[in-house]
């Protein structure tokens, strides 16, 4: 891919959003010092990033859980390569929580010490595509598409932020033994949020009381996040980044299977064929429908 796109910037074979990416971070990523108690949330875009930022922030910060502090989630668990508020990561107190869309080969090498933790959240790619289509049409910094068909073409060619979904998930899955990593799905979180929070706590070695777990689950539920200005990115997308439509929301549907409202049968079957061809040797479980087990 050439580097002339208004929206995308390709660095080492991976597409970043051109005007948001912090070059000083990605150019010096190898030297970024990792602490043993760092936690990275890694996702392909639209897979549940800000949801997981919210969950981890609630788990780690008592002042968030009990609502005594009024801090935006993005300032507690910032994006790594898109450091939106230019936080000083070196001065950030431990434990640091980062969110990132980076592929496995571009993350700080220190993550291979296997002490720092990575939570990889994945989602069925038909819902990712649907969410991404709406998000790209909403945000001024993303290229709009006039139809799902046109967006699907870009998505399947990897001509989007995050590059090709198949490469992202395969890369992380095949290199999982190099990292201290837990794979979790958006759909598991949606179907059993409490169970997922407990699983995350176990992985992070955080022992919360049942009451605290309840507080995390309550404040990470879709409707609560949607109406919580610290969590819903409203300010950031409307005032800091810019939208084409002031009605559009970052927290849109928050469900499993919305793709069925957007894909034709032919598009769905075509996507299934490509999915099967690319994913047959990856044993991760995918859920495509709210009623599926
Ligand atoms: S981004 O831009 O990559 O950071 O987007 P990301 O946060 O990964 O994904 C956005 C989608 O996640 C949904 N979301 C949630 N779903 C269920 N419950 C909760 N609490 C929640 N929070 C965010 C959000 O609505 C986007 O999905 P769609 O399908 O567009 O609604």
State yes or no: pLDDT of 196 exceeds 80. yes
Q: Return phi, psi of residue 205, to 5°.
A: 55, 45
pLDDT class for 80, splitting at 50, 70, 90? very high
One of 64, 101, 168, 262 is an active-site residue; which one?
A: 101
- Domains of the chain with CATH codes: 3-279 (3.40.50.300)
Q: State what percent of residues in the chain have pLDDT above 90.
A: 90
- pLDDT of 184 over the 80 cut: yes
Query: Which tens digit of pLDDT belongs to each residue from 135-144?
Result: 999 999 999 9
Whether 168 is catalytic is no
Q: How far is the CA of 31 from the centre of ligand 1 (A)?
A: 31
Percent of the chain with pLDDT over 70: 99
CA distance 192 to 197: 9
| Residue 197: Cβ-neighbour burial (10 angstroms; 0-12, 13-18, 19+) | buried
pLDDT, tens only, 86-109? 999 999 999 999 999 999 999 999
**CA-nearest residue, atom 3 of ligand 1:** 45
User: Does position 75 have pLDDT exceeding 60, yes or no?
Assistant: yes
Give the pLDDT score at 247: 83
- pLDDT in the model for residue 235: 86
Ligand 1 atom closest to 162 (CA): 3
Note the pLDDT of residue 237: 85
Pocket test for ligand 1, best of 16, 46, 161 (most atoms within 8 A of CB): 46
């Amino acid at each position: 891919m050439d580097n002339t796109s208004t929206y995308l910037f390709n660095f080492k074979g991976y597409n970043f959003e051109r005007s948001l990416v912090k070059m000083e971070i990605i150019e010096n990523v190898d030297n970024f010092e990792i602490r043993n108690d760092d936690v990275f949330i890694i996702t392909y875009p639209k897979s549940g990033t800000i949801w997981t930022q919210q969950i981890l922030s609630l788990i780690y910060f008592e002042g968030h859980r009990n609502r005594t502090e009024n801090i935006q989630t993005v300032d507690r668990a910032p994006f790594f390569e898109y450091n939106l508020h230019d936080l000083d990561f070196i001065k950030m107190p431990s434990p640091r929580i980062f969110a990132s869309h980076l592929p496995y080969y571009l993350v700080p090498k220190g993550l291979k010490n296997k002490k720092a933790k990575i939570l990889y959240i994945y989602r069925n790619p038909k819902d990712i595509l649907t969410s991404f289509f709406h998000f790209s049409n909403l945000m001024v910094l993303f290229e709009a598409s006039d139809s799902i068909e046109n967006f699907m073409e870009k998505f399947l060619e990897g001509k989007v932020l995050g590059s090709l979904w198949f490469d992202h998930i395969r890369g992380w899955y095949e290199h999982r033994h190099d990292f201290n990593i837990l794979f979790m799905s958006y759909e598991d979180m949606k179907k059993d949020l409490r169970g997922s929070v407990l699983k995350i706590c176990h992985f992070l070695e955080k022992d919360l009381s049942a009451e605290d777990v309840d507080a995390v689950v309550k404040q990470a539920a879709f409707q609560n996040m949607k109406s919580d200005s610290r969590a819903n990115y409203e300010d950031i997308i409307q005032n800091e980044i810019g939208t084409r439509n002031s009605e559009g929301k970052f927290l849109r549907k928050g469900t499993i299977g919305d793709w069925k409202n957007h894909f034709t049968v032919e598009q769905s079957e075509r996507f299934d064929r490509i999915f099967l061809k690319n994913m047959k040797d990856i044993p991760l479980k995918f859920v495509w429908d709210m009623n599926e087990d």
